[in-house]
Every structure is written in structure tokens, then in C-alpha cells.
Amino acid sequence: MIYNNFVIDRFDRFGDLKLNREVFGRFSKLIKEKTGIFFDLSKMYFLETRLKKRMKEREIKNFLDYLVLLETDYTDREFKELLNEITVQETSFFRINPHFKTFSTYVMPDLISRKRNSDAGFLSFLSAGCSSGQEAYSIAFSVFESKKPIPPHWDFSVVGVDISTKAIESARAGVYQNSEISRLPERIVARFFEKTEKGFKVKDFVRNKTMFRYANLFKEEDLRVSGQFDVIFCRYVLIYLEENAKKKVIDNLFKILNPGGFLFVAPSESYNVSDRFARVIYGDSVLFQKPF
Ligand SMILES: C[S@@+](CC[C@H](N)C(=O)[O-])C[C@H]1O[C@@H](n2cnc3c(N)ncnc32)[C@H](O)[C@@H]1O
């Protein structure tokens, strides 16, 4: 019986609980179906350690029981806890600096001149897969630093969304350690951060322009509630997704981008962007524009 295979595979020779290929396959399928995130066999050990951490927390003694819990919990509460463990949060301020230069020197002036004659004195930006907020705050800093500032009486907002609730909590707090801001120019630190007991906190006048919330980019309904955007940054997210999921996420982002709006992805991800977008090369950056 298959169930017996699980029993046989359950412990290694040191008595440690081990994930076998079949059960790994079922976890991997579940995660892929819900989020698009893909774990191939090379990630088996990584997934095993993260599953064990959650199982310890929930006092669950074997993988199958935990799998059943995930499969039957319609609230996805435990699944979200697991996502906090298995998503990769690596990020930094002004990651891929040329993107932010292009944003300030090309995208911002373009949007402002296009919208000048309309009533829409509002610019909306999305950091899709925002992790702990550095990307969203870098967008906001760039708007404040832009050589072509937004006209008086105009306003802007930066929405950050992520599938990790822990990441969203950190993003909302907006507090960063010295090691994270030490490479930023002193002027930027002085203008946008205040020193607190817990670390360097993004000043309120910037935080007031930002909003962070949970969303699964794979689910169109999660994104629809965020509104429409002039610019979307979705960088180093697609690399974790399975091929069809990449297409679906790009499709979802296309729908919430305003006509003429821009999409930034990481250079290694640009081949995933569909032909529905026009490819624009500006300076050292390749960006993608939704047709008007
Ligand atoms: C490596 S970080 C990249 C952060 C930031 N975009 C950057 O470039 O620095 C990837 C982020 O994507 C998030 N993520 C992965 N799959 C997601 C999905 N289906 N929906 C929303 N966020 C997702 C992860 O939780 C993680 O915070």
C-alpha cells in the first residue's frame, strides 16, 4: 500500500523525519496550484525543513497529517503561515539602480506630461511582490527626488502587495537596520529616515503615501481590488513561478495597468513578458509599456 511506503520512508537512519518524493510531489502540487510558486526536486530539503518548522509549531508529527490540514483548511490560515516560511524575501533599497534612474528621468516626466491636460492629477504605483517594503519605499523616494516633481495639487500613492503576511507586517512598520541603509547616500538617509530605538524608520510623510496589503499575484480577484496603476514594479518574483503561472501573473498585471502604463521586471525575467506589451529601451533599462 502506498501509505506503507510513506511509513517506510518516514525516518532516516538517524531517526529524523524525512519527506519522500511522493509526499514532496503532493506538497509541491498544492503550493503550485494555490500560488504558482514552483518547487522542483532540488528544493526538497529546503521544503522539508520549512514544513518541519510549521509542523513543530502545530504539534503535528507526520507530513501526511500536515498535508491534509493544508488541503482541508478552507481559510488558508495555516497555508499563509507556511508561505511565510517558504517565500524568499531577499530585497534591498534601489535594487537595480538603473530602473529607478529610468523611472525618475523618463517614466515620471512622460506620465506627468501625458496627464497634464486631464483631470487626473494622481499617479499610482504598485510594487508587486514587495517583500519587506524596500522596493515600494524606493519608488516613493524616487518620486520625491524626481527632477520633474509632480505638479502642485497632484498626489501619488505606492501600493505594495505580497503573499507573505510577515513581509507585509515589516513593510508597514518601515523600520530597517543600519546594514540595510548603510549603502544609501547620506542625503537620502537624512531626508527619508529617522533614527529610532528599533532602527531607521521611514519618515511619516513617505509612509503616508504607501499602503501594504496581502495579495496573491496569481489570483486576479486579489489584484482587482487594488485599483489601476500607472507603473508596476514586479521584479524577482516571476523567477520563483512555474511557466504557466508566470504567464498568468503577467496577464493579471496587464489588466490592472493603465493604458500607456509601464511594467518593470528584473532583466532575467524580461523574456517572460508577453508581446501584448511594447518593449521600451531607455538608458540601461528595458521596460514594458501597455499600448494606449
Ligand atoms: C525575492 S523577493 C523580491 C522583492 C522585490 N520585488 C525586489 O525585487 O527586491 C520576492 C517576493 O515575491 C513574493 N511572492 C512570491 N510569489 C508571490 C505571489 N504569487 N503573489 C504575491 N507575492 C509573491 C515573495 O513573498 C517575496 O516577498
Query: Which of 97, 163, 218, 251 to probe ligand 1 with, by most ligand atoms within 8 A of CB?
Result: 163
Ligand 1: which of 86, 131, 180 to mutate, most ligand atoms within 8 Å of CB?
A: 131
C-alpha 132 – ligand 1 centre gap (Å): 9
CA distance linking residue 270 with residue 284, whole number of Å: 14
Helix (H, G, I), strand (E, B) or coil at 11: strand
Strand order in the sheet with 285-289: 210-214, 155-162, 122-128, 229-233, 257-264, 285-289, 278-282
Residue 153 Cα, ligand 1 centroid: separation in angstroms? 33
* Residue with CA nearest ligand 1 atom 14: 129
**Helix (H) or strand (E) run with residue 291 in it:** none
pLDDT in tens, 130-181: 999 999 999 999 999 987 888 888 999 999 999 999 999 999 999 999 999 9
Q: At what angle do helices 63-72 and 2-9 cross, to 10 degrees?
A: 120
- Other Cβ atoms within 10 Å of 249 Cβ, number: 24
Q: What is the pTM of this model?
A: 0.94
Indicate the CATH number for domain 2-86.
1.10.155.10
pLDDT digits (tens, 9 = 90+) for 70-82: 999 999 999 999 9
Q: Where are the domains of the chain?
A: 2-86, 97-289
Q: What is the mean pLDDT of the chain?
A: 92
Interval between CA 8 and ligand 1 midpoint (Å): 36
Please state the CATH superfamily assignment of the domain spanning residues 97-289 in this structure: Vaccinia Virus protein VP39 (3.40.50.150)
Q: What are the φ and ψ backbone dihedral angles of 163, each rounded to 5 degrees?
A: -90, -10
**What separation in Å is there between the alpha carbon of 88 and the centre of ligand 1?**
7
Q: Which atom of ligand 1 is nearest to the CA of 96?
A: 8
Residue numbers of the chain with a pLDDT score lower than 70: 1-16, 119-120
Q: What's the rounded Cα separation, in Å, for the pair 120 and 108?
A: 14
